[in-house]
Amino acid sequence: MTLEIFTTLDGSDTLFVPELNEHYHSRFGAVQESRQVFIEHGFMAVKDTGEPVKIFEMGFGTGLNTLLTLLAAKELNLKVNYTSIEKFPLHSEVWERLNYGSDISLPGSRNEFREIHEAPWDQAVGLTGSFTLKKIHADIAGFIPAETGFDVVYFDAFSPDVQPDLWTQEVLGPIGNWLKPGGILVTYSCKGSVKRILKANGFKVEKLPGPPGKRTVLRGIRKDVYKEIV
């Protein structure tokens, strides 16, 4: 795929794929979108488990969600075990051009961003004393994780209109079994078909306020021990 750097309205970069007419993150603000959807509605909702927070990310992409989670975990002094899957990892000549960690976007975190991308694939690596990252180079279709019991899933694939095969029962259905009872899935897509699949697989589905440019986003909570999250 051809990848072009695109600076979003909050000053942070994203990537644009001309063949798909799709951006990796919101044009209205890459950092704003990732922070609100995945950190505020995802990570912050499960941070008080008293145990290391276990996260599974569908779509490592630019590494932005990983970086924001690492920074939040450091600020809160929390232990995190982070697993991320990606079928098409970025080459270094692409991710090195992104401005995450620069004075413009997430200043002071360039070393962390580099460590995330330079971490070897398919093995767990301790990036700090409290943050362990395992990047998996694989296709999510038919994927079975080596371990389950995740507190939260970040589902950050390209949009259902662009990659409908990633928003199906075959992909979304098994994820409920990967989560702990009461675990959550967060995603930016509020498409009706996505909501119906999650509901059919034992999720309580909520619409939550979205970032700039998107009115609402989606959070699914396993209903077996469902309780309100604020």
Distances in Å between the alpha carbon of 179 and those of 23, 150, 197, 209? Answer: 28, 5, 16, 23
User: What is the pLDDT confidence band of residue 229, given thresholds at 50, 70 and 90?
Assistant: low
* pLDDT band with cut points at 50, 70 and 90 for residue 230: very low
Pick one of 3.40.50.150, 3.40.1670.10, 3.40.605.10, 3.30.300.30 as the CATH number of 29-225: 3.40.50.150
pLDDT digits (tens, 9 = 90+) for 59-98: 999 999 999 999 999 999 999 999 999 999 999 999 999 9
The pTM of this model reads 0.95
Rg of the chain over CA atoms, in angstroms?
Answer: 16
Backbone angles phi, psi at 177, to 5 degrees: -75, -15
Q: Alpha helix locations (H) across the chain?
A: 30-34, 44-46, 64-76, 92-95, 110-118, 169-172, 175-178, 192-200
Tell me the per-residue pLDDT of 106-127, one tens digit each, with 9 for 90 and over: 999 999 999 999 999 999 999 9
82-91 in b/e form (b: 16+ CB < 10 A) is bbbbbeeebe
Q: Binning pLDDT at 50, 70 and 90, where does residue 225 land?
A: low
What is the token pair recorded at 132? 């362990």
Q: How many CB atoms lie within 10 A of CB 2?
A: 9
